Amino acid sequence: MIPQARLEIQKERVVCHTRVQRNVNLEKLQNGYLFPEISMHELQHIRKYPDAKLINLGIGDTTEPIPDIVAVSMAEYAHALSTVEGYRGYGAEQGNKALRKAIAETLYKDVQVKDSEVFVSDGSQCDITRLQLLLGSNVTMAVQDPSFPAYIDTSVIIGQAGDFEEKSGKFGNIEYMNCGPQNNFFPDLAKTRRTDIIFFCSPNNPTGQAATRQQLEELVKFAKENGSIIIFDSAYAVYVTDDSPRSIFEIPGAKEVAIEVSSFSKFAGFTGVRLGWTVVPEELCFSNGFPVINDFNRIVCTCFNGASNISQAGGLACLSSEGFMAVCSVVNYYKENAKILLETLASLGLKVYGGENAPYVWVHFPGSKSWDVFDYILEKTHIITVPGSGFGPGGEEFLRMSTFGHRETILEASKRLKNLFS
């Protein structure tokens, strides 16, 4: 008889590897994607404290029911698919005309975006990947630091990022535009290297800060001078309370230098339903004068087959006047949450940012490692947050708290945080 150990060695030997080399870009990706990483910590915590009542202020995931009018529209559309009259097969890759029109007319009324410039998608994260496919590996890019990890991760995957430098925690070819309390969360553009692409998210995830009109005017001017393209992520636009722009296209001339990606996820609780859009203005051209919109259209037609028609029916309902009021009332509920959490943390003497124009609160713990603070809060209060360093080296010393949640959860979280920090 062959002993078990030897059998296992033999078994390992017969595993047949292909001769296909692993993609070097994927080898360069750092750690896991942030949120699965946090889930692992969560799982360990649950094993340690199986009876603890965990509160999740981590991933920014909507919690409140979708308004009736929107859910009913989707249910009716789905039901009609079983009838001869209501059945629909492939739709246009770019999205249904009625929805493109409603997005242009409802959300971009004052800035005159055309229906044909709106591309409906299954969410902004997916469109960020499609934009990277559009741009290819030879462009250079800048991001806010900290920022939503998908910008850098997709840049690494497509091959733009260069090598990761352990010491700085940065990729060599990416320009990190530090945004923190010291510069009012807006990069020092005089010291920013010229890049082809500038990813810019406002209201910002994770800092919760919205750029002012003057700041965005500066950004557009900077992009024009440098011949750069801004990819403006406005996924949280509906959370803006003050007079900060809700779209980059509110800035004169932005159509010649900017693309906007956005989403129904946080706007209408569609995180699981999946729906978003991207605006590519006709005016935007590559250096040879070729319109960017033509290439994006080609990418959408080749690499994507349209968002679910049921989700699109829901999107259309969100943009009816009654639907819009209903989804905004859910947004206001989350904003009230943000206010509660913001006031609690401020009352404890913590340095808190964001929360007024975004569903995120950004808390500074000077001198501390953000994963340490994350673990400390989890251990002591059973609250999941997000360590700021997960958003880039500029997020070190910070924690992001999501203010999505049922009211009683936010109140309970506030209570636990008060107990811990007072």
Q: In what order do the strands lie in the sheet with 386-387?
A: 351-354, 360-364, 398-402, 386-387
* Shortest distance in whole angstroms from residue 298 CB to a copy of itself: 6
* Shortest distance in whole angstroms from residue 296 CB to a copy of itself: 10
* Shortest distance in whole angstroms from residue 380 CB to a copy of itself: 26
Sign of the alpha-carbon dihedral angle for 92, 94, 99, 100: negative
* Shortest distance in whole angstroms from residue 124 CB to a copy of itself: 9
* Shortest distance in whole angstroms from residue 282 CB to a copy of itself: 10
β 398-402/141-145 pair status: unpaired
Nearer to a copy of itself, 293 or 345 (CB): 293
Nearer to a copy of itself, 17 or 109 (CB): 17
* Shortest distance in whole angstroms from residue 318 CB to a copy of itself: 13
Taking alpha carbons only, the member of 32, 87, 41 closest to residue 379 is 41
* Shortest distance in whole angstroms from residue 74 CB to a copy of itself: 4
Structural element, H or E, at residue 178: strand 174-178
Nearer to a copy of itself, 101 or 194 (CB): 194
Specify whether the CB–CB gap between 112 and 147 falls below 8 A. Answer: no
Nearer to a copy of itself, 337 or 344 (CB): 337
* Shortest distance in whole angstroms from residue 200 CB to a copy of itself: 15
Nearer to a copy of itself, 139 or 346 (CB): 139
Nearer to a copy of itself, 218 or 256 (CB): 256
Alpha carbons 89 and 91: distance in angstroms, whole number: 6
Structural element, H or E, at residue 370: helix 370-381
Nearer to a copy of itself, 52 or 303 (CB): 303
Specify whether the CB–CB gap between 177 and 152 falls below 8 A. Answer: no
Alpha carbons 104 and 108: distance in angstroms, whole number: 5
* Shortest distance in whole angstroms from residue 161 CB to a copy of itself: 13
Nearer to a copy of itself, 68 or 379 (CB): 68
344 to each of 352, 361, 415, 418, how far by Cα in Å? Answer: 10, 11, 8, 7
Rg (CA), the chain: 23
* Shortest distance in whole angstroms from residue 87 CB to a copy of itself: 5
β 229-233/258-263 pair status: parallel
Taking alpha carbons only, the member of 234, 235, 236, 279 closest to residue 258 is 279
Provide the Cα torsion 383, 208, 35, 387; round to 10°. -60
Taking alpha carbons only, the member of 26, 329, 300 closest to residue 159 is 26
Alpha carbons 185 and 188: distance in angstroms, whole number: 9
Specify whether the CB–CB gap between 354 and 261 falls below 8 A. Answer: no
Sign of the alpha-carbon dihedral angle for 124, 130, 135, 140: positive
Structural element, H or E, at residue 177: strand 174-178
Nearer to a copy of itself, 149 or 180 (CB): 149
Nearer to a copy of itself, 180 or 395 (CB): 395
Specify whether the CB–CB gap between 267 and 98 falls below 8 A. Answer: no
